[in-house]
A and B are shown apart, each in its own frame.
Chain A
Amino acid sequence: MWHNVWAVIRREYLQRVRSKWFIMVTLLAPIIMIAMIVIPTFIAARSDRSDRDLLIVDGSGVLYERLASDFEASGYTVAEEPWTVDVVTDLRQQASDGEIGGFLVLDDLTLETGEAVLYANERPSLIRRMTLRSAIASAALEYQLEQQGLDAGAMLAGGELRVEMLVDEGSDTDDPQFFVAYMGTMFLYMVILIYAVSVMRATLEEKTSRIVEVIVSSMKPWHLMLGKILGVGAVSLTQIAVWLSMGALAVGAGIPMLIAARPELANLDTVVAVLPGLWLLILFVGLFLFGFFMYSGLYAAVGAMCSTDEEAQQAQFPVMMFLIIPILFVLQAIQEPLTPLVTWLSLFPLFSPVLMWARVAGGGVPGWQIGLSFVLMGATVIGVAWLAGRIYKVGILMAGKKPSLPELWRWVREA
């Protein structure tokens, strides 16, 4: 009978992948995502032309030379304003008259602490502040090290700080890791929900269009359900694969090329540095697949027991709650991934996809917990398949009113 399942998978997959809607979403979503990252940087780079003309007052007398080349490499045009007693007052006046956009003041304190003052009419972006700050600090450090007779270049280039945490701890909201963890949970939540709902809609469509009667006359309902879920699952994997490879292409080739062509976009590097590694991607896909199989089974059952879209909208709510509840704990899971509450919640299979991701991306979850959650999710997939298969079998051919809970239980027992 497997040729049946295969035929259903094939139909489901081709119908969906060939639809204009799918092609559009698959191709446009990453383009929009990339555009959302690149365009603001680009606009910032353009509109801030005046800001890019950076006037530097160097009270220390040694930093300007070092900084000038750094800044120019990042797309600034720098000019030195000689130090005078009134220079700050003068320049402030010029700035408020709109003659200059702003200026940077360095002094001896900068050499000691890396502290500098940027006078600006408009608040510079976070990325820009970070760029300036680190350039100044390393210039100061370089100078100091040279004074000590050390090879500052080698020291700064090779000197990487390896952090060995004695206590596992989560990510702070300022951390780039937080961004990965948080965006990841939202993305997981969305794709699982979207594709599980597609399974429900497909089931409902077959039921309301009545074609299911013909199909089930030549195959087992369970095979039909399995084919549907696997077909939609294959579609989702295709989409995620396209997204990931477009992302990889953008990060691996696109952004470096863009930066090479337009040095003022160098800030994009900061974004790239934050992206998750291969291991996290594998975990992501794994969590998605298990989550999808659990939820699509439940959603298929919901679709099978309803007769109209409105009914299905209502009936899906209890299932959806299981996806929404973990979202409430995401912040906590990222910041304190090892508290007992979050640990237990993340091991509950229906919560695992969202919460386990949040904890792992947050940092420091023992491997056995990840393994255990996958074992538990695997068992749940089997349980859901059994339960949903039975509800599906009865529901798919049933017309009329949505069953009550006791009726549903009778379906499960009798199927």
Chain B
Amino acid sequence: MSDDGFAVKLEGVTKRFGKHTAISDFDFEVPRGTICGLLGPNGSGKTTSIRMIMGILHPDEGRVSLFGSDPDVTRRTKVGYLPEERGLYKKMKVLELLTFLAEIRGVRRSEGRKRAGVWLERLGLTEWSDKRAEDLSKGMQQKVQFIGTVLHDPELLILDEPFSGLDPINQDVLEEIVRDYHAKGTTILFSTHLMHQAEKLCERVCLISNSKKVLDAELKELKAAERKGVVAVEFEGPDTWIRGPEVDHVEEVNGALHLILRDGADHQAILARGVQSEARILRFDLVEPTLHEIFVRHAGADAVGDAGMPVLAGASGT
């Protein structure tokens, strides 16, 4: 059985719920060993796609394969899956719950208990081992849930919105863990609507918007290709010179203004206008566009704004 080096492969997948099309003609691949981000605003079809990969939903059209075959129980057991909507057995004690989750994925009880202990310590939850899940705060429950996802040492981690609901410190902790798994060779697919999070972690990104794929590429290549597109400027005085046919729109990022250029536009023209104006230019810099900017360029600011995505990269989600 060959899996073509892909942990996950979607070919022409469409899924409808009644009249609503959740995802349409979606081609998507996750090469083994990569960290791949599935990005898009809320309601764009990320979770539906992930649930199809996990065999929870079945595509109306197209084919989903996991490790080169149908996503059956045997293959799903090799996946660590953190669903978007999280739940625990409320009345169960944390350590027992984790042991159980490991056990149903084939980890012996003693071994599961040991691993759970190690993880609880790593995430600072040791003193909560014997507490019931319902006594934990939301954030702690989420960490417990994450532990449950990785206890059986999965070959593939599928994390649906793993960062939402975590405070910045714990987001960093989770990020570090994801990097560790990546270093060990685990394939990671996660979905998020937080662009900066994806930007820090991903090797590959797939952007979807309004149920359609917008972009799918290596992050580095993507950024190199888009490099010409954004100019960061800082200046004193009038700002009329930054408006012009070359500029699609302007965004404020970390105190500087980012001019997002139209395709094929020349930044020299803007600079020339600036020099002639009365403004005093402090910085005129071609920058790597943020993922957010790339996304906006491709999907359009409307798509992003309407879907409730934060307009500024770096704003935290819910």
Contact = CB atoms under 8 A, between A and B. Distances in A.
Contacts of B149: 214
A218 interface: yes
Interface string B77-105: 10101110111111110001000110111
B58 to A, nearest CB: 9
A11 B73 contact: no
Main DSSP-derived SS at the B contact region: loop
A54 B54 CA distance: 82
Contacts of A212: 87
A1 B89 contact: no
What bracket does the count of chain B residues touching chain A fall in?
20 to 34
A11 B96 CA distance: 9
B56 A397 contact: yes
Given A7-B100, A219-B104, A211 B88 contact: yes
Nearest to B82: A214
B76 interface: yes
A8 B101 CA distance: 10
Contacts of B89: 11, 15, 205-206, 209, 211
What bracket does the count of chain A residues touching chain B fall in?
20 to 34
A212 B79 CA distance: 16
Main DSSP-derived SS at the A contact region: helix
A4 B100 CA distance: 9
B265 to A, nearest CB: 47
A379 to B, nearest CB: 29
A8 B56 contact: no
Given A15-B92, A218-B73, A218-B105, A211 B79 contact: no
B56 A217 contact: yes
Contact of B76 (A3, A205, A217): A217
B104 A7 contact: yes
Contacts of A217: 54-56, 76-77, 79, 81
Interface in A63-120: none
Interface string A1-34: 1011001100100010001000000000000000
A408 interface: no
B148 interface: yes
Contacts of A206: 87, 89
A214 B73 contact: no
A4 B104 contact: yes
Given A15-B91, A217-B54, A397-B57, 14 more contacts: A3-B103, A11-B89, A15-B92, A209-B89, A209-B90, A210-B86, A213-B54, A213-B56, A214-B149, A215-B104, A217-B56, A217-B76, A219-B73, A219-B104
Interface of B: 54-57, 73, 76-77, 79, 81-83, 85-92, 96, 100-101, 103-106, 145, 148-149
